[in-house]
Amino acid sequence: MPVAMDWDTPERKIIRVTFLGEWDVDDIHRMITKRNSMMECVNHPVHQILDMTDSTSSPSNLLSVTGRAELPPNKMGSVVVVVNASNYIKSVARIMRRLSPRLFEHIYSVDSIEEAYAKITEVCGQPV
């Protein structure tokens, strides 16, 4: 499976998404559907760590999922941290931020899972 996701903490405060090898926008659509379902099961903000370390390619039509990326209505305040994003992924994130600044204002790029946790703690002002 090119995109795997699960709760990263027992408290269900972080969803970890791992990209493996080649993946496409259909994988992203499935990921968004599952993410929304997972977030609906809890009554607190849920952050996301997208680990691209083992990703070998990215779909050229990635911007087409921008309209579906919105969080469930009661789940604002989520921080998204991308680990080891390629230059292409970083460029797509910048474009998404310009297209929908409110939706994509809390997307960050780091080089390790440890840095991802530190970024979430920094942005939220408390450990997760």
Average pLDDT, the chain: 88
- The values of phi and psi at residue 125, to 5°, are 80, 10
| Domain harbouring 16, CATH code | 3.30.750.24
Domain of 14 in residue numbering reads as 3-124
pLDDT-wise least confident of 40-44, 62-66, 108-112: 62-66
Q: Is the pLDDT of residue 122 over 90?
A: yes
Q: Is the pLDDT of residue 4 over 70?
A: yes
Residue with more model confidence, 13 or 58: 13
Q: How confident is the model at residue 76 (pLDDT cuts 50, 70, 90)?
A: low
Total number of domains constituting the chain: 1
Residue with more model confidence, 44 or 73: 44
DSSP labels, 95-118: HHHHH-TTTTTTEEEESSHHHHHH
Q: How confident is the model at residue 45 (pLDDT cuts 50, 70, 90)?
A: confident
The residue ranges of DSSP E strands in the chain, in sequence order, are: 3-7, 14-21, 47-55, 80-83, 107-110
- 14 strand-pairing partners: 47
